[in-house]
């Protein structure tokens, strides 16, 4: 049975962070050591990010709050709210993104009714509340109250793939199933000033965003489908358990993102791809660059550099991942769906448009997937382009070179 993605839509908060401005704020904090100040400049400037989006409106100099919790522009100080405060904001603001992305994905399917949704899978690792986002989507969109609901929590940047894989399995088990998958992350809730290199790197990379997909194998789905879900595989690298982690602290969630992660990926990416490509021997016999599209989770610039070099890919094949990193930053689980959406928006090519996709997360876990692009996604103005038009004078003239 062939399973299809009927729509794939994205959403971001309304507040844009300019990377150079965020760098200056973090570099000016009074508690930084000389080494910490240098690390802030290096991490922010080498991240290959121009802009990011945040649900925390007060993180910009234009925002004014009588009782600031994250950043006080009057003093220039970054504040350090408790995990409870951060999570309360997550419950409120993440709900907006979950619902916005889900509604957009359903609006892109006029042939489907909201009551056609049989399964709902939500994904997030940046906060918790219950009744959770799955419940909120059902209520806000008016889905059938009996819809089967599942939440994948705290898995990290690769979690979109387990969600899509579960959706595929549901559709294979029930040919009438229609599955709504929604990922939403508010990573910026957990930024803080610190001399710790992992914390500084996280502050330079992470951002907020959401993505939603409608998945089904119903007869006639191919006519309206964007993407065919072919294969999924999971690999744990033999090293790296301590190099990437996501822990809960008293003042937010704490990222462990060691500088050895790109080297681990460099050493083990070929082995991680073997089980996936073995599913189609014809592909396994070809050079990696023969696969037209590569949807790589942009965990950071150096990770993309290692993937491109080790697999012998072209600059063009990594362009979708680099564009998403530059315009949106790392939005954890939602990010790879932004990259896939970027590929779907490209004009069709001649021949079979296969997509090989990878995402990395704690463990070190490598999730891989093969898709087939079926048609071009409908053109739509991205949130980035809307903000770019409104704030052109504030944007950097040239992207940082890293």
Q: What is the pLDDT of residues 203-232, one digit of tens each?
A: 999 999 999 999 999 998 888 899 999 999
Provide the β-strand partners of residue 16: 53
Angle, helix 261-277 to helix 301-311, in steps of 10 degrees: 50
User: Stretch 135-139: mean pLDDT, rounded?
Assistant: 98
pLDDT digits (tens, 9 = 90+) for 19-54: 999 999 999 999 999 999 999 999 999 999 999 999
Instruction: Note whether 80 and 251 are within 8 A (CB).
Output: yes
130 DSSP 8-state letter: S
Residue 371: HSE in the Cβ half-sphere, 13 Å Cα cutoff: 32
pLDDT band at 262 (very low <50, low <70, confident <90, very high): confident
pLDDT band at 315 (very low <50, low <70, confident <90, very high): very high
Report which of 208, 355, 341 is spatially closest to residue 276, judged by C-alpha positions: 355
| CA 209/CA 229 separation, integer angstroms | 23
57 pLDDT above the threshold of 80: yes
Task: Name the average pLDDT for the chain.
Answer: 92
| CA 264/CA 97 separation, integer angstroms | 33
| CA 280/CA 258 separation, integer angstroms | 34
Q: What is the pLDDT of residue 390?
A: 57
**Are residues 215 and 236 located together in one domain of the fold?**
no
> In the chain, what percentage of residues exceed pLDDT 70?
93
Tokens at 211, concatenated: 């993505």
Q: How many CB atoms lie within 10 A of CB 270?
A: 12
Tokens at 72, concatenated: 């006080």
In a domain, 397, yes or no: no
Of the candidates 125, 157, 183, 187, the residue annotated as catalytic is 157
pLDDT band at 258 (very low <50, low <70, confident <90, very high): low
| CA 95/CA 332 separation, integer angstroms | 17
Tokens at 24, concatenated: 């200056």
H helix or E strand, kind and range, residue 296: strand 293-296
Q: What is the pLDDT of residue 398?
A: 36
**Are residues 244 and 119 located together in one domain of the fold?**
no
Among 191, 223, 255, residue at a domain's last position: 223
pTM given for the model: 0.94
Q: What is the pLDDT of residue 141?
A: 98
Comparison of pLDDT for 9 and 402, the residue scoring more: 9
Among 223, 241, 259, residue at a domain's last position: 223
Angle, helix 335-345 to helix 160-173, in steps of 10 degrees: 70
Comparison of pLDDT for 231 and 389, the residue scoring more: 231
**Are residues 132 and 238 located together in one domain of the fold?**
no
The number of distinct structural domains making up the chain is 2
**Are residues 72 and 206 located together in one domain of the fold?**
yes
Instruction: Note whether 59 and 171 are within 8 A (CB).
Output: no
Find the domain containing 202 and state its range.
3-223
pLDDT band at 87 (very low <50, low <70, confident <90, very high): very high
Q: What is the pLDDT of residue 387?
A: 59
**Are residues 217 and 318 located together in one domain of the fold?**
no
**Are residues 265 and 368 located together in one domain of the fold?**
yes
**Are residues 72 and 181 located together in one domain of the fold?**
yes
157 catalytic, yes or no?
yes
Supply the DSSP string of 320-351, one letter for each residue. Answer: HHHHHHHHH-B-GGGHHHHHHHHHHHSPPPSS
Report which of 201, 208, 183 is spatially closest to residue 89, judged by C-alpha positions: 208
In a domain, 399, yes or no: no
Q: What is the pLDDT of residue 326?
A: 98
pLDDT digits (tens, 9 = 90+) for 152-168: 999 999 999 999 999 99
**Are residues 33 and 80 located together in one domain of the fold?**
yes
In a domain, 391, yes or no: no
Instruction: Note whether 106 and 114 are within 8 A (CB).
Output: yes
Instruction: Note whether 83 and 251 are within 8 A (CB).
Output: yes
In a domain, 396, yes or no: no
In a domain, 120, yes or no: yes
In a domain, 400, yes or no: no
126 pLDDT above the threshold of 70: yes
H helix or E strand, kind and range, residue 94: helix 83-107
**Are residues 330 and 288 located together in one domain of the fold?**
yes
397 pLDDT above the threshold of 70: no
pLDDT band at 108 (very low <50, low <70, confident <90, very high): very high
**Are residues 139 and 259 located together in one domain of the fold?**
no
For residue 235, give the CATH number of its domain.
3.40.47.10
Name 155's Cβ contacts closer than 8 Å, sequence gap at least 6: 123, 125, 162, 333, 361, 362
Q: What is the pLDDT of residue 384?
A: 62
**Are residues 180 and 43 located together in one domain of the fold?**
yes
Among 194, 223, 252, residue at a domain's last position: 223
- Residue keyed to tokens 């704020």: 25
Tokens at 268, concatenated: 């083990």
Provide the β-strand partners of residue 252: 249
Lowest mean pLDDT across 74-83, 166-175, 282-291, 382-391: 382-391
In a domain, 390, yes or no: no
| CA 369/CA 233 separation, integer angstroms | 6
**Are residues 310 and 205 located together in one domain of the fold?**
no
> In the chain, what percentage of residues exceed pLDDT 90?
80
401 pLDDT above the threshold of 60: no
In a domain, 180, yes or no: yes
302 pLDDT above the threshold of 50: yes
User: Stretch 56-74: mean pLDDT, rounded?
Assistant: 83
pLDDT band at 382 (very low <50, low <70, confident <90, very high): low
- Residue keyed to tokens 């502050």: 203
pLDDT band at 388 (very low <50, low <70, confident <90, very high): low
């Amino acid at each position: 049975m062939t399973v299809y993605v009927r729509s794939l839509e994205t959403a971001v908060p309304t507040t844009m962070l300019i990377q150079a401005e965020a760098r200056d704020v973090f570099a000016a904090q009074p508690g930084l050591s000389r080494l910490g100040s240098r690390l802030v400049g290096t991490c922010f400037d080498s991240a290959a990010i121009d802009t990011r989006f945040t649900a925390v409106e007060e993180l910009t100099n234009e925002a004014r709050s009588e009782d600031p919790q994250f950043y006080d522009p009057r003093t220039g100080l970054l504040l350090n709210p408790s995990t409870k405060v951060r999570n309360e904001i997550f419950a409120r603001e993440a709900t907006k993104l979950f619902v916005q992305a889900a509604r957009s994905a359903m609006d892109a399917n006029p042939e489907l009714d909201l009551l056609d949704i049989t399964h709902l899978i939500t994904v997030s690792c940046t906060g918790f509340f219950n009744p959770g986002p799955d419940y909120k989507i059902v209520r806000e969109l008016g889905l059938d109250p009996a819809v089967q609901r599942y939440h994948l929590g705290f898995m990290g940047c690769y979690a979109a793939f387990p969600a899509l894989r579960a959706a595929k399995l549901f559709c294979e088990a029930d040919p009438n199933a229609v599955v709504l998958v929604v990922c939403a992350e508010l990573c910026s809730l957990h930024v803080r000033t610190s001399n710790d290199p992992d914390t500084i790197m996280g502050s330079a990379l992470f951002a907020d965003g959401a993505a939603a997909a409608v998945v089904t194998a119903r007869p006639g789905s191919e006519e309206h489908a964007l993407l065919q879900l072919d294969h999924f595989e999971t690999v744990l690298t033999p090293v790296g358990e301590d190099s990437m982690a996501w822990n809960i602290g008293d003042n937010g969630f704490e990222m462990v993102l060691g500088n050895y992660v790109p080297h681990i990926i460099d050493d083990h990416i070929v082995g991680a791809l073997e089980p996936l490509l073995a599913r189609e021997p014809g592909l396994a016999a070809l050079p990696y660059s023969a696969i037209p599209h590569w949807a790589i989770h942009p965990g950071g610039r150096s990770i993309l550099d290692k993937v491109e070099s080790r697999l012998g890919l072209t600059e063009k094949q990594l362009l979708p991942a680099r564009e998403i990193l530059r315009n949106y930053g790392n939005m954890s689980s939602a990010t790879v769906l932004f990259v896939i959406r970027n590929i779907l928006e490209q004009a069709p090519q001649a021949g079979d448009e296969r997509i090989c996709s990878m995402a990395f997360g704690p463990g070190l876990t490598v999730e891989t997937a093969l898709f087939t692009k079926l048609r071009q996604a409908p053109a739509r103005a991205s949130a980035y382009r809307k903000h770019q038009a409104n704030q052109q004078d504030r944007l950097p003239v040239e992207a940082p070179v890293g």
